[in-house]
Copies of this chain bind each other. A is one copy, B any other.
């Protein structure tokens, strides 16, 4: 892939920092700049050699960047782009990495001039941690990358972001519309987090209880170590879809509860059999 670009990454946290590391190693663009509100983070990123230079004020890097990757929480990403409209270089391709798309794409597209192209993006990669110190170029290895194009996006720019995703290690780039993204993510990502949190919250862990905790409990609660700031925002921003998924889930669990109350072994086995087959469909992708 052609690497003759200037790229700016806004937000040098877990995802932004990992993106910088991966780009430096796999693409090594003409210039790779970082923007962050924290001077110490910028210093660390420069010392690690993952950015060529870092800025608290975005004006200079944006004016000279062909590609801008905004790696901030959704509201901050929207605010950042809106308040820096005048600073972007003509023809720049802007993308984000946030976990919701309808609101982000909608708000940004409606205020973007024609000479800029914003493509909603969401690398399906991450860790239950925050901050540059947890960043790793490997988080993208074999991950999927979702793009949420609209008819405003130019096909050559979509191809560009797609190639970047593949270059940093992603195995697959999938395009869906922003609303479908939010609907699907509420199930595949939102709901599991809420479930893990609710499960952990049921009881306290004395030493005796801890002896009963095996792989099943650990796996089902792993993502309960949740980043409260990020996820509270993601859930509220996608609340209708989230609530729909919670309702479906609670309904399923209630059906199982009733079957157990009624000692309806046939019904229970039917549900288990069906779930087991369904879950095994994912194994070929594991």
Chain B residues with CB below 8 A from A224, complex form: 275-276, 278-279
The 6 A-B residue pairs with the shortest CB-CB distance, nearest first, are A228-B272, A198-B252, A224-B279, A192-B220, A197-B275, A174-B211
| A160 interface residue (CB < 8 Å to B) | no
Q: Is the CB of A188 within 8 A of B172?
A: no
Chain B residues with CB below 8 A from A184, complex form: 208-209, 212
**Which residues of chain A in 186-228 are interfacial with respect to chain B, using CB atoms and an 8 Å cutoff?**
187-189, 191-203, 205, 208-214, 216-228
Q: Is the CB of B282 within 8 A of A232?
A: no
| Min CB–CB distance A198 → chain B (angstroms) | 4
Q: Is the CB of B125 within 8 A of A200?
A: no
| A265 interface residue (CB < 8 Å to B) | yes
| A22 interface residue (CB < 8 Å to B) | no
The stretch from A24-32, A46-54, A81-89, A255-263 touching chain B is A255-263
Distance of A143 Cα from B215 Cα, bound (Å) = 10
* Chief secondary structure at chain A's binding surface: helix
Chain B residues with CB below 8 A from A268, complex form: 228, 231-232, 235-236
Interface size on A, residues (CB 8 A): 88
Q: Is the CB of A203 within 8 A of B272?
A: no
| A76 interface residue (CB < 8 Å to B) | no
Chain A window 240-266, contacts with chain B (Cβ cutoff 8 Å), 1 for yes, 0 for no: 001101101110111011001101010
Chain B residues with CB below 8 A from A220, complex form: 192, 195-196, 219-220, 222-223
Closest to A174 in B: B211
Q: Is the CB of B189 within 8 A of A279?
A: no
Given A214-B124, A228-B272, A269-B232, A256–B198 Cβ distance below 8 Å?
Answer: yes
Given A201-B274, A219-B222, A257-B246, A282–B124 Cβ distance below 8 Å?
Answer: no
Distance of A205 Cα from B285 Cα, bound (Å) = 12
| A144 interface residue (CB < 8 Å to B) | yes
Q: Is the CB of A199 within 8 A of B195?
A: yes
| A14 interface residue (CB < 8 Å to B) | no
**Which residues of chain A in 117-148 are interfacial with respect to chain B, using CB atoms and an 8 Å cutoff?**
124-126, 143-144, 146
Which residue of B124, B172, B191, B228 is within 8 Å of A276 (Cβ)? B228
| A281 interface residue (CB < 8 Å to B) | yes
Q: Is the CB of A202 within 8 A of B261?
A: no
Distance of A230 Cα from B279 Cα, bound (Å) = 18
Listed A/B pairs (17) with beta-carbon separation below 8 Å: A125-B214, A144-B214, A189-B214, A191-B199, A192-B216, A192-B219, A194-B253, A197-B272, A199-B252, A201-B278, A202-B245, A202-B252, A205-B278, A220-B223, A226-B272, A242-B260, A250-B253
